A and B are shown apart, each in its own frame.
Chain A
Amino acid sequence: MTNANTVKKKVAEVIQEVLGAETGLAGLDPKTPLKAVSAIDSLTALRIMVALENKFKLKFEASNLEETFHSVETLARYIEARIGQGAAR
């Protein structure tokens, strides 16, 4: 499994943990908009953000939360970029 796929898998696991097991993110296409799976309001987005921060040991400095939280893939892309920056950790 590639590193990108590992990040996506971890992102999906974290989101599922926050939203509740019944949301059933696992097995979905990472490009599926999260709002088709559950209603991600601003508070839920913050909770997911905090869980992802702790999982990947980085700080979110998202200026556009809506775009970043579009799907598992967009979140994974953001996290990979942050990890790549190194200094952002």
Chain B
Amino acid sequence: MTFVHPRDFIRNATRRSPGKTAVISAGEPVSYAALNDLIGALARRLKAAGVGAGDTVALSFPNSLEFVVAFYAAMQVGAVVFPVSPKLTGKELAGLLVDAQADCVIHPKGAPQPLAAFQSAGVRIALQLGFSGSDLLLEPAVLRVRPLAADKPARVRTRYQTVVRQYSSGSTGTPKHMLKTSRNLFHDAWHFAASLGLTEKEVFLGAAPFYHNYGLLSLLTAGYLGATLVVVKQFLPHAVLEHIRKDHVTAWLATPAMLEILADCYLDQTPSLPSLRCCVSSTAPLTKAVFERFHRRFGLPVFQVYGSTESATNTVQKITDYTDETLVGTPMPGIEVQIFDEHFRRLPRGRVGRVGVKAPSACDGYLHNAAASAQTFRAGYVFPGDLGHLDAQGALHVVGRDNVINVGGMKVDALEVERVLNSHPAVAESLVYGSADGNGQKLSAAVVARSGGLTVAELLDHCWARLSDYKLPKVIHIVDTLPRDEHGKIVRKAIEEHVRRPRGSTPEKSLKNS
């Protein structure tokens, strides 16, 4: 295996096969040569606009050709790419731009330009990017929010060139900020491809969001291999089935929620998907029930992949006959998984403890958060917050997780949502938790009002203005108290029973939907 800088993935593939389809976007194929030209053209425009080495370039796009082009163009000028969700509220986006010290924002042509938010976040340049006509002409609109500053703060230097900034939710209530190097990204693409036997012949379905670590992996692996990437802007089951069939998709990095939707959607006739040989599930545990419904309908095996934003993808198992809900697979090539006790001493096989991963795809720590770094990064291992054990064959079993709530593959920090609820003037305190929802978790909240009259509708309005949609509680219970132990500490695990009790039998009352 020879190291290749990710910025060179498309250039190298173009040299090998210029006429090969690199991307299929909105039904239109784009060859590697054309993609390489688009990337080069945007890189020149970025340079001309003053974006250069070490600058942070935020990309706020849904899955699109624009994202692919901007991602590689920013890397080619030596900038650090910072993919962000296009669903973020203005306040959420501004907060991330400030924390990341973003110099430039690129977002879709025609999208609203929240210039005030960009300005207050210290962004120097905002660009709108789009394509028009069959020639895919670049139309970046350069908008200088404020002049280039000569006194830019010193950049954080790492051993390898930093190429991507990412955020991970955590249990501390603050998103954790990570820098990924060229080495991290290369190894993630390489060991993912190697462990699944993927080649340049693959046609990847890019349906998971590219701004997410897992969605970005499909983009990177396709580029590294010189394969084809089918860009899916919005996951809709019938459209996805049509893509798989029509574009002869061979590899799909899916989430359990996506597999569940495909397993359950209405079909008058189950389509045959003979090309799809590598259907991957990650970001959340794949339950036996979902696997069996998906397998029964399509007859396909599923490769379950375990990992984290910090350590990327780490273990894999091919499921054809689901036997064990805790099993997440064996380590990929070049990755070591060990189990540790609470004092970070290694435990023998079979003993349950903290899962630690040593991987060249793992970042070195969190920026500006020494306390969280000390908890998660230790002695060369990443501790993603899972409890598990290794079996006699060296396969990893995960038996428990920390307080982060996994909503359909998106990690939601309960404390972040609680902070927003608590900022409502009529809220005394709140507790956000995950309640069972079919095969996954549903974000729920119990709220103690300062006085009567608080409604669920008011709380939802308050949250809509401050949180992305996936972070919004699906159910809100207004209660008189939260469950506490004899020391006054909130007992999270008792909350579901607490809110379920009939009115009159406990101090809480339901004001929901009032």
Contact = CB atoms under 8 A, between A and B. Distances in A.
A41 B437 CA distance: 14
Contact of A22 (B437, B469, B512): B512
Contacts of A36: 457, 460-461
A20 B442 contact: yes
Contacts of B512: 22-24
26 contacts: A20-B475, A22-B475, A23-B513, A38-B475, A39-B463, A39-B469, A39-B472, A39-B473, A40-B469, A41-B469, A41-B472, A42-B469, A43-B408, A43-B410, A46-B236, A46-B261, A50-B237, A50-B266, A53-B266, A54-B264, A54-B265, A54-B266, A58-B266, A59-B268, A60-B236, A89-B268
A35 B458 CA distance: 11
Interface residues of B, number: 34
Interface of B: 234-238, 257, 261, 264-268, 407-408, 410, 437-438, 442-443, 456-457, 460-461, 463-464, 469-470, 472-475, 477, 512-513
Contacts of B477: 22
B186 to A, nearest CB: 31
A18 to B, nearest CB: 9
Interface string A52-87: 011001111110010000000000000000000000
A57 B266 contact: yes
A44 interface: yes
Contacts of A58: 266
Range of interface residues on chain A? 20 to 34
A44 B261 CA distance: 10
Given A39-B464, A57-B266, 16 more contacts: A22-B475, A23-B512, A24-B513, A35-B460, A37-B456, A37-B457, A39-B443, A39-B469, A43-B407, A46-B236, A47-B438, A50-B264, A54-B264, A59-B268, A65-B234, A89-B268
A28 interface: yes
Nearest to B464: A35
